[in-house]
């Protein structure tokens, strides 16, 4: 079963392909997505990576959490389910 990871403190230059390539070092990547700001079209500095197995996800956390990439220390952990946000 696939495991989804939150990846924070990404360089604003990182794109989906680079994120997928980086995490493929830990195992099989099902998907990788950098979250973009709807107004500006710029990266928001975080993204999500879905690894094929729990073991690959655990390995990715061990490999990349706290690792410096492009001058920024990544924050990598299991993604939490999205919470309902109140309408404004």
pTM for the structure as a whole? 0.90
- What digits encode the pLDDT tens for the residues 4-48? 999 999 999 999 999 999 999 999 999 999 999 999 999 999 999
Confirm if 51 and 30 have CB atoms less than 8 A apart. Answer: yes
Cα–Cα distance for residue pair 41/2, rounded to 1 Å? 28
Q: Where along the chain do its domains lie? A: 3-78
CATH code: domain 3-78 is: 3.30.70.330
User: What pLDDT does residue 88 have?
Assistant: 67
Whole-number Cα distances in Å, 86 to 35, 46, 82, 83: 21, 22, 13, 10
Whole-number Cα distances in Å, 79 to 9, 40, 48, 66: 14, 25, 8, 16
Cα–Cα distance for residue pair 46/20, rounded to 1 Å? 13
């Amino acid at each position: 079963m696939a495991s989804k990871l939150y990846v924070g403190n990404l360089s604003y230059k990182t794109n989906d392909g680079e994120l997928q390539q980086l995490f493929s070092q830990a195992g099989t990547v099902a998907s990788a997505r950098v979250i973009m700001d709807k107004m500006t079209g710029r990266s928001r500095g975080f993204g999500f990576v879905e690894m094929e197995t729990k073991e690959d996800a655990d390995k990715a956390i061990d490999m990349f959490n706290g690792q410096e990439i492009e001058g920024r220390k990544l924050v990598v952990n299991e993604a939490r389910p999205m919470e309902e946000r109140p309408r404004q």
